[in-house]
Amino acid sequence: MQVAPVKARLEAEVPALRHRVETASGLSDVIRNRAAPQQTPAAFVVPLGLQGGAASVQVNAFRQDVVDLVGVVLFVRGGSRTGDRALAEVDVLIREIIQSLIAWAPDGEPGVFVLQRANIISFAEGVLIYQIDFRINDELRKTA
């Protein structure tokens, strides 16, 4: 899973998110409390799972392509009920997040991150929640 390196990368590369990036446990707290983070913008890096791809078996060796999926969930508090300020702010953040992660690979990884999708999750009570999903190719190997 790529959560820790993505969290570190966002904190280092996106100025508005320095000291404001958490993992799935932090998002779980937000959901349980039914309240947005105290300070926004805030981001949560969550593992979205693995997708298996083509596999090959040779004498005493197995290899399978794997895609590791990671999501970045943003919370941005709007300055008004319409959220105009939040929409402008989130547009800048989305671009900064995408630029910080695309074509980058954590140490030792064979693939690089690419954008999978991005969309609004919710806009309620002046808080915009937006999710950006990334994928990185990897592989599984096993020898007998």
Of the candidates 48, 59, 53, the one whose C-alpha atom is nearest the C-alpha of residue 140 is: 53
Q: And the tokens for 62?
A: 């197995």
Strand, coil or helix: 126: coil
20, 41 contact by CB (below 8 A)? yes
Q: And the tokens for 133?
A: 């999903």
| Amino acid (1-letter code) at residue 129 | I
- Which tens digit of pLDDT belongs to each residue from 14-71? 999 999 999 999 999 999 988 889 899 999 999 999 999 999 999 899 999 999 999 9
Q: And the tokens for 9?
A: 């990368």
- Which tens digit of pLDDT belongs to each residue from 72-96? 999 998 766 666 666 777 888 999 9
pLDDT of residue 88: 74
pLDDT of residue 81: 62
Go through the domains of the chain in sequence order and give each one's CATH number: 3-143 (3.30.2000.10)
pTM score of the predicted model? 0.89
Strand, coil or helix: 73: strand
